[in-house]
Structure formats: structure tokens, C-alpha cells
Structure 1
């Protein structure tokens, strides 16, 4: 079987290659032809997801993309010819989208949140990440799966899962499971987090802080914050983006840890800081300088949303519901516990260090 073939296991699940590497008899034109069907499907899926937000005001194109991909994956067979391009899209397009995500982050805006709010952000990420690893170990869940769930639930959802995939040396089904869990519990948090804030008598800005500190996906934060008020939304997005900043050091830390844990030939070791993470940090620093024109920032945000939506459609094609259920109740329990941990820490932190009015 050639490297770019697609195999079918006894459960009927399609196993696609991680990447398409041209051999001596495969030129760039032939490689592009192999990628084209799946790449085109993801681009169309991303565009359809963005168009879907006009039919569903307030819905996230990223969530629509994941759900559309998962719906296709579970209702109809995915043609074998699509898999090389889908694999390419779910990695390359996502990494480019993460680089552009850095242009949304201004360090001066993040620092303006104040030391109390920043402390809450660090505690939400750190305690959730650590608790997920420990509790997952008690549940007997493999380390790569625990790391993916910890990253997704503490930092920024599916984008964090995909960003840490190589560093954790995770299998594709583990990535799909983590993304499926992020979609499930993050969606449940959209109405839950504002309701919890109201239960504790928080004002709109405090509820926004709670939303940004606890909900998994940036898109889910936007949906929840927008449902409360414009002031809640502004605080929620800023606090959430402060959590996104932690993606770079956590990916670097995971890479260092896994390099030490696994005695792998030097040539096969992934870089400590992947190139796309370097790009993410460079984009963030560029935005901080304040020299990027507003129209360019708006265009970059649109491009970032489209690229992430196309990548999420590709990732959704890997979400197999029966496979997710077969992954066992342990991953489901761990995801629920991780969600509860970050919600409790965020509530306590918001009550102790409410945002300045």
C-alpha cells in the first residue's frame, strides 16, 4: 500500500495518512491533485459555515463547521480520495488561522485587565490543566488523550487541541474525541455560564469575565457574551484572549516534556516551539505595536475565521459519534470534571477580583 492510500479497519473507520509526502515518483502537480478534492471540500465547508451565520445570527462559523463535518462523517461515507486533502486542511489551514489569530491579541489590552483578572486567567488555565491531567490519570486515560483534553478545556477549545496534537504525539481518534468533547461541553456552557453568573448576582461586566475565563472556545465565548450585553461581550472576549496567550508557552512546555519522556531519534523530534506558534507570537507582538491599519486587521480577522472554519470542517469529518461513545465513559467524565473545575475557579476568581467598572 502506498503512503497516500487510505485503509479501513474492522470497525469500518477510515484511517487516513497524517500527511502526504511526495516520493520520487510523485511530483508537486500530482501531490496537489491528491490534495485537491479534500481541500476543496474543506474550503466549501468553511464558506458554507460562514454563510450559515447569516441564517443563524449569533451562531459561530467554527461550531457550524465542526457540526457540518461531523454530520457528514456520521450520516454518509467520506470518499477515500478526500482524505489526503482533509488531513492537510485540518493541519495547515488551522495553523495559518492560529497565526492570524495572534493579530487579535494586543499585550497592552491584555495587561490593562489588571493583575487580579490576569491572576484569575492564570489560575483558570493552570488549575484546569493540572487537575485534568491528574484526574485523567486516576481514571486510567492515556497521557496523550489527557493532554489534549486539558489543553482544549483550559485554553481555547478545538484550536488548542489541534495545536498540541504533534507535541502530545496523539492518535487521530484521540484528537477527534477531544474535539467532540469540546464541542459538546462548550456548547452546554453557552447558557450555563451566564446563568451561574446571574445566580451569584454578578453585573454584566463580571458575567463577561466569568464567561471569558470559563468557556472553552473563543466562538462560544462570543455567543455567550453577546447574549448578555455588549459590555459583557467586550470583557468576555478580552479575558478569553488572555487565555489564548497561554497557548504558546504551553505548547512549548509540552514539546519539551514529551521530548524528554520519549527517547526518539533526534531527526524525528518535533521542534520545541513549532513554527506556527512562533508566527502566532510574532503576529501578537505586531498587533501590540499599534502599527497595523484597522482595515488590514479586519481583513485578517475575516481570513482567520475562514481558515479556522475550513480546518474545523476537516476536523469535524474525523468526529465519529459511535467511536466517541466507544472511547468510553471515562473521557466523558474527565471532560465534565474539567468543565466543572474551570467553572468553579472562574466563579471564585470573578467574585474575588471583579473587573473594574
Structure 2
């Protein structure tokens, strides 16, 4: 196994960026508008970016925009995922305790396996099961984008990536509203409710919103639990890379450069004291890159293309979400 060429990270010269400026400017403008709407209306910025991007689908094949859109949906995407490594601290996660940690890992693996099984039963390929199962099991949109980038070319369609983004974003938003009500109705404590929220809701922002809607203690536990799931992302990406060894004519397995970047930055974050200003800046940069990548993906695909395969993809994501919720409730009942 060898690392993919790290020059990919820095290979875009000033001349290349200038050539792509039309599409980059379009994607960045959509991302700015989506961020503004997300802040003012309390909805996920990535969903706004996706929907606004689709409105500009007529520019997807314009020679002035297409190169920059492709750059944003590929290189910018991978940079944003790599920078997520700076947001993980294992000191906070360790407060959960060993049994809860083992349960989270078990649920992650079982959700991935369930995703593969459900996808196959619904007539979708294994890669689609990995994509949707990973996004549900780990961290929603960020995991979907990372897994899509890690899969060999041709294994997953952009339409499937966008469908996954729409599905997990919508379900995560619904869960943010319904899960706190459900867990309180079940008579669970704040700690148990926070643990369940962190273990089941897809996106980090919705986990934080749902957890703190119950109490500060529930919010803290939910955040710690969610970060543990996010910490599993590089291991899943490495496993996917190894699992597809030899794909594409017997080529050697490559560890994507953004996975290496993620792991190295995660180590830096936990081993070295970093100024808060640096962490805030990189967190904002990573988020904006991911929103920009989603905007570019939206531009490249139309709604007609997304749903061309029928409702089976949405059903797969919904069933995976239900499986994760039932498993989490079961593990919590065992640990009581």
C-alpha cells in the first residue's frame, strides 16, 4: 500500500486557479448565501447550498464554470474533510466510559453492515450501502462526502451522493426535533437522553441543538458521544480503501491523501497545544469548504437525475436510520 500523490493537495497552481475562477466564484457565492440563510433561519447551511446549487444546474456544462465546479466538488471537498481532524479531542470523549464507548463502536459497525444488507435487498450496489450506512453511522453529510471521495472512481454516482446528502440532512433535522421529545417521553435521564442523541442523530450541528434543548448536561454528553463517532471516520475510510484493494485493473491500494491529512491533524490537535484562534479559523475554513463542495455538487446534478432511480435510495437511508435508533435504545436499556 502506498500513499496517493500528496502533490494533489498543492497541485493547483495560480494559473490553474485562474482558469477555474468562474466556477469557484459561483460555488463560493452559493456557499456564502447558504451560510447566511442557515444562520438567519436556523436550518442546515449545507441543505441550502445543495438546493441553491441545483437552481444553477444550467451552468453545469458551461465552459466558463465547469472546471471550477469540478475543482470545488473534488479537491475543495477533500481539503475540507482533511481539516476536520483538527476538531477532535479524545480527552472529552474518554469521559463516556469504556462500556458506552464499546456500544457506540458496535452500533457504528452494525449500522454499516445493515446499510450494506438493506442496499443489496433493495437492489442497490454495495458501494451505495457503504455510502448511506456510513453517513448514518458516523457523521451525516461529512461522512457521506468523505466516503464518496474514498471510494474508487465509478463505484458511486454523484446522484447517489446528492441523494444521500438530502436524505441524511432531512432525517437529521427531523430527528433533532423529535428525538428529544421521544427520549423524555420514555422517561430517560438527561445523561441517557444525551447519549442516545449523540449516538443516533447524523450531523454534529443537529446533535448539539437536540442535546442542549434538553439540558446542558445532555448537550455535553451528546457532543462527546457524537465526537466519538466522528473519530471513527478515518478508520472506516482506511477499511474502505483496503477493501477495494486491486479495484481498477489490479492497481495497488492507495491511502487517500485527505485521510492522511485527517489523521495527522487529529494527532496534532491532541498532542500539541494549539491557539483557540487557530482552531476557530480552521473549523470555519473546513465548514466553508464543505458547504462550497456541496454547492458545486448541487450545480452538477439536477433533481430529475437524483430521483431517476426511484424511491429505493431514500427508503434505504430511512431504514438505516431506524435500525440505528432501535440499536441505541436496546444498548441503553442493557446498560441501565
TM tier, smaller: 0.7 to 0.9
> Residue 264 of structure 1 aligns to a residue in which SS?
coil
Native 8 Å contact 1:180 1:319 kept in 2: no
Q: Which range is displaced more, 64-73 or 202-211?
A: 64-73
Picking from 49, 67, 78, the partner of 2:51 is: 67
Task: Compute the TM-score of the two structures, normalised by the length of structure 1.
Answer: 0.82
d(CA) in 1 for partners of 2:269, 2:248: 39
d(CA) in 2 for partners of 1:83, 1:196: 45
Q: Which range is displaced more, 203-212 or 58-67?
A: 58-67
Shift in CA distance, 30/206, structure 1 to aligned 2, threshold 3 Å? same
Give the match for residue 4 of structure 2. none
d(CA) in 2 for partners of 1:318, 1:234: 38
Offset at residue 230 of structure 1 (A): 3.0
Asked whether 1:196 is paired with 2:196, we answer: no
d(CA) in 1 for partners of 2:123, 2:322: 19
d(CA) in 2 for partners of 1:233, 1:164: 27
Task: Compute the TM-score of the two structures, normalised by the length of structure 2.
Answer: 0.87
Offset at residue 114 of structure 1 (A): 0.8
> Residue 216 of structure 1 aligns to a residue in which SS?
coil
d(CA) in 2 for partners of 1:205, 1:218: 18
Asked whether 1:230 is paired with 2:216, we answer: yes
Asked whether 1:134 is paired with 2:117, we answer: yes
Offset at residue 250 of structure 1 (A): 0.9
Give the match for residue 295 of structure 1. 277
Picking from 16, 32, 40, the partner of 1:55 is: 40
Q: Which range is displaced more, 80-89 or 129-138?
A: 80-89
Shift in CA distance, 89/104, structure 1 to aligned 2, threshold 3 Å? same
Give the match for residue 230 of structure 2. 244
Mapping 1:97-116, distance limit 5 Å: 97-116=80-99
d(CA) in 2 for partners of 1:45, 1:241: 28
Give the match for residue 276 of structure 1. 258
Give the match for residue 5 of structure 1. none
Shift in CA distance, 300/33, structure 1 to aligned 2, threshold 3 Å? closer
Picking from 25, 30, 43, the partner of 2:28 is: 43
Unaligned 5+ segments in structure 2 are 1-7
Aligned length in residues: 322
Native 8 Å contact 1:173 1:318 kept in 2: no
Give the match for residue 332 of structure 2. 350
Native 8 Å contact 2:197 2:222 kept in 1: yes
> Residue 295 of structure 1 aligns to a residue in which SS?
helix
Native 8 Å contact 1:176 1:318 kept in 2: no
> Residue 43 of structure 2 aligns to a residue in which SS?
coil
d(CA) in 1 for partners of 2:312, 2:165: 15
Picking from 308, 313, 317, the partner of 1:335 is: 317
Offset at residue 174 of structure 1 (A): 2.3
Say what the alpha-carbon RMSD is for the aligned residues. Answer: 2.4
Native 8 Å contact 2:80 2:286 kept in 1: yes
Native 8 Å contact 2:56 2:299 kept in 1: yes
Give the match for residue 136 of structure 2. 153
Native 8 Å contact 1:66 1:313 kept in 2: yes
Q: Which range is displaced more, 288-297 or 336-345?
A: 288-297
> Residue 328 of structure 1 aligns to a residue in which SS?
coil
Give the match for residue 3 of structure 2. none
Asked whether 1:322 is paired with 2:304, we answer: yes
Mapping 1:83-98, distance limit 5 Å: 83-98=66-81
Unaligned 5+ segments in structure 1 are 1-20, 22-26
